Amino acid sequence: MAQIIADRRDIDFVLYEQFKVDELTNHDRYAEFNRKTFDLIISEARNLAVKEILPTFAEGDREGARFENGQVKVPACYHRPYKLMREGEWTAMIADPELGGQGLPRSIAQAASEYFIGANYACALYAAVGHAAGELIEYFGTEKQKQIFLKKMYTGQWSGTMQLTEPQAGSDVGALTTTAVKNPDGTYTLTGNKIFITGGDHDLAENIIHPVLARIEGAPKGTRGISLFIVPKIWVNDDGSLGQPNDIVCTGIEEKLGIHGSATCAMALGSKGKCRGWLLGEENKGMRVMFHMMNAARLAVGLIGMMCGSAAYLYAANYAKERLQGRDLTRIADQEAPQVPIIQHPDVRRMLLWMKSHVDGMRSLAYYITWLFDQEVCTDDKEEKARYQGLIDLLTPVFKSYCSDRGFDICVEALQVYGGYGYTQEYPVEQLLRDCKIASIYEGTNGIQAMDLLGRKLGMKGGAVVLDFFQQIQKTTDEAARIESLKALATKLDEAVKRLGEVAMHLGTTAMSPDVKAAFAFAKPFLDVFGDVCVAWMLLWRANIAAAQLEKGAKSKDKAFYEGQLQTAKYFINAIVPITMGKMDAIAAGDPAPMEIPEAAFGG
């Protein structure tokens, strides 16, 4: 079990063969690193994950976070991994070393995270959220705010959250009612209630810094009147020392389907009239600031879905190789035939290949987006920066939604491979399934991501961004068309991309007509087929590399891996993409039934 929480061979393939991440060391920003250093960092992350985080997986789930006497206690077994992650500087891997980080490229930090998340993401998240909240201060805070907060948040001495959601304002953030009143000393007094706050309170860090969305008295209604505030659990003095507890408290934690060790808190601000905070950024510009964190969080959630799915697939594949059950299909009537590992049964192999194809494609898509980030910070060309950012913006809702959905589906399929044992707590896949499900819900439900893709992202720069995306796929299919064994696959992917463009244009036009609601009824199916095309692209890209390696005479230890890349691409493009094409036909047909059915017909 401990050896298969992430696939190092595949990670190395994606890092060094597909995206050539070691070439980043040619840039001044990463000149101190080399491939050997990157490999050592990933190996150390694996050791920490296997030896310290993985043992908390089942134990932390069964103990869970607890709310006792107004305080939140995390599972006792989480304390040592948190301490070790702090000491190893794993809490802010991409941050400047002067601020307590490692200064790593995002791609290498992501590879390390595969192990942390695959081991137990309910535990690992506590060490990551301080950096996520701290980035808001780094990018939008004053020099004094940076001086006071950054290093302590990046090193995990202080933790962080993201406080948006209220009982009446979930996805509709503009409906929030938390208020802020400016004080003579420049601070603000806040009053309100927040719910579903991950890590809103816990006993791992000495302080928790809350970025809180609120409306200053007299500000416009809706999102354009929202500001963002830095609200510490314990007040921070001007010299950075801790003062008295602030009037922001947890009033309870949720009992959830999964991630039991993660404290999901309801928070009360100003119940005694003494909750204070500092403005972060400009008044009424809070959503612009918070979207930086939200977009990063959406990519992180997509990673969680992918990584949970990857771990579940690896567990299932290992189990299928060891579990003896039934006779070989060709000897089914032979009562003397021995039992065989279930991986020899055709239906199990189909399930495993379905899982593998999605995991491989999603991993490559994850690292492609991260590669875009790394390229963006390494270029001074403004046009190139804008191009990379445009592709990131386009793919963010697709990645968040598709990977969280498919990650959960993979967990379901992995449980099926285990049979009855999978439904028990004796094996890890039932917990992975439970822990993974929230990824399709938080940081903007997947339906919201689909609306974002259709309503905003497809039309960016007059459609130039999505056109650029299609051109990137064309480079891969052009290369594949020159390889005899991949030529047919290239043709099929070209056809899928052409059809996706047609459907996108159709939906975009419909969305600007009186039939706007009918168009958005198909937004989520459209995002799903967009994701399928992304996965097919990544798998064909992988196959191009594998075919070249086999042609050159790959080492015997690598032949099965490369041959697996060819078969995986062949399976997905020949068996899954035709289904995708059918879904695109249904989207283009645009049956209006979802909008025409009477509400009363839904029952209840």
DSSP per position, 164-199: --BTTBSS-GGG---EEEE-TTS-EEEEEEEEEEET
pLDDT tens digit sequence for 355-395: 999 999 999 999 999 999 999 999 999 999 999 999 999 99
Residues of the chain with CATH 1.20.140.10: 303-328+338-592
Largest CA distance in the chain: 88
Q: Is the dihedral of CA 330, 334, 337, 341 positive or negative?
A: positive
Averaged pLDDT, groups of 10, the chain, 604 residues long: 78 98 96 97 97 98 97 98 97 94 97 96 95 95 97 97 89 88 97 97 98 95 95 97 98 98 98 97 93 90 97 97 95 94 98 98 98 96 97 98 98 98 97 98 95 96 97 98 98 98 95 92 98 98 98 92 98 98 97 94 87
Query: Alpha-carbon distance 379 to 388, whole Å?
Result: 10
Domain limits, CATH 2.40.110.20, in the chain: 159-289
List 232's β-bridge partners, or say none: 209
For the chain, helix, strand, coil in percent to 5 are: 65, 10, 25
Where would I find the H helices in 419-522?
429-437, 446-452, 464-481, 487-511, 516-520
In this structure, are strands 71-73 and 66-68 parallel, antiparallel, or unpaired? antiparallel
DSSP state of 485: G
Instruction: Give dist(CA 212, CA 435) in Å, integer.
Output: 26
pTM: 0.97
**Three-point CA angle 191, 193, 197, nearest 5°:** 130
C-alpha–C-alpha distance, residues 453 and 528, integer Å: 11
- 443 as an active site residue: the answer is yes
Q: Which helix (H) or strand (E) holds 553?
A: none
DSSP reduced 3-state for 52: helix
CATH 3.90.1300.10 fits 159-289, yes or no: no
Main-chain dihedrals φ then ψ at residue 102, nearest 5 degrees: -105, -10
Nearest CA to 264 out of 57, 64, 55 is that of: 64
Predicted local distance difference test score (pLDDT) of residue 174: 81
Instruction: Name the pairing type of β-strands 188-198 and 276-279.
Output: antiparallel
Number of residues that make up the chain? 604
pLDDT tens, residue by residue, 441-492: 999 999 999 999 999 999 999 999 999 999 999 999 999 999 999 999 999 9
Active-site residue (options: 114, 166, 430, 443)? 443
Say what the pLDDT of residue 3 is: 57
Phi, psi of 444 (to 5 degrees): 95, 110
> What is the structure's pLDDT at 329?
94
Residue 191's identity, in one-letter code, is T
Sequence-distant (≥ 6) Cβ neighbours of residue 521 within 8 angstroms: 592, 594, 595
Distance CA 229, CA 179 (A): 11
Domain 8-154 belongs in CATH node 1.10.540.10: yes
CA angle in degrees (0–180, nearest 5) for 98-101-107: 130
Residue span(s) of the chain under CATH 1.10.540.10 come to 8-154
Q: Are strands 207-216 and 158-160 parallel, antiparallel or unpaired?
A: parallel
Distance CA 368, CA 476 (A): 13
Residue 1 confidence (pLDDT): 43
**231 and 212 in contact (C-beta within 8 Å)?**
yes
Residue 368, helix vs strand vs coil? helix
Helices 143-154 and 106-140, packing angle to 10 deg: 150
- List the CATH code of the domain at 303-328+338-592: 1.20.140.10
